[in-house]
Structure 1
Amino acid sequence: MQKAIALKYDYDTAPKIVAKGSGALAEKIMEVAKENDVMLHQSPELVEMLSTLELGEEIPESLYLAVAEIIAFAHQIKNHRW
């Protein structure tokens, strides 16, 4: 079953879980992300770890590096001029 997790990062605190779901809800989360030009990243392992967290909860320190790499990659793509 499809799962999705949405993170928000405001540069002041660790990224927080702002949406999560499976099935139809996961599809809706991804649809809203696409409509708002939010990068989607597929990592089933990371989704499984993040899905144990509650909405509004900050990601644990053990996942900082993995999430930081994704955020850095998203910024690089967003700021790249073709």
Structure 2
Amino acid sequence: MKDDDAGNDGKTERSKQAQLSIALKRDTSGKTKVIAKGSGELAEQILQIAFDQGVKVRADSDLAEILTTVDVESEIPLEALTAVATILNYVYSEQKFPNDESTPRHDIIY
């Protein structure tokens, strides 16, 4: 769409797409589950809660798209396990050994 088309409010194509947010949590047995998910306004609320709580946030739209098919309180699917494990490893290492207090601390996938 051109910038001068009627109805264009100046937003990019990416910002016009519905935002997705998926919250994950590893339980005591080591299983990773989806604990919250949403799109649009709900996705923004999930992100705001994460930021307010100092939860790590990671942008990965492909993984978020895969995880939208997982029911809340369900384990993540095998095909997403490697990507999620990599992200969670990073998140947990940052929480255990933060390298810079000025770096924003974030943990949701969107």
TM-score by length of 2: 0.69
- Structure showing greater radius of gyration is 2
Among all aligned residue pairs of Structure 1 and Structure 2, give the percentage whose two residues are the same amino acid: 35
Q: Which residue is equivalent to 2:82? A: 65
CA-CA distance at 1:61 after TM superposition: 1.8
Unpaired runs of 5+ in structure 2? 1-17, 101-110
Report the Cα distance in structure 1 between the residues aligned to 2:65 and 2:43, rounded to whole angstroms. Answer: 13
CA-CA distance at 1:81 after TM superposition: 4.1
Q: Which residue is equivalent to 1:47? A: 64
Report the Cα distance in structure 2 between the residues aligned to 1:45 and 1:12, rounded to whole angstroms. Answer: 27
SS state at 2:38 partner: strand
SS state at 1:4 partner: strand
Structure richer in helix, relative to its length: 1
- Count of matched residue pairs: 82
TM-score by length of 1: 0.91
SS state at 1:71 partner: helix
Unpaired runs of 5+ in structure 1? none
Question: Larger deviation: 20-29 or 6-15?
Answer: 6-15
Partner amino acid, structure 2, of 1:80: P
Identify the structure with bigger relative contact order (alpha carbons < 8 Å, sequence gap 6+): 2
CA-CA distance at 1:76 after TM superposition: 2.2
Q: Which residue is equivalent to 2:107? A: none
Spell out structure 1 runs of 4+ moving beyond 4 A. none
Q: RMSD over aligned Cα, in angstroms?
A: 1.3
Partner amino acid, structure 1, of 2:73: G
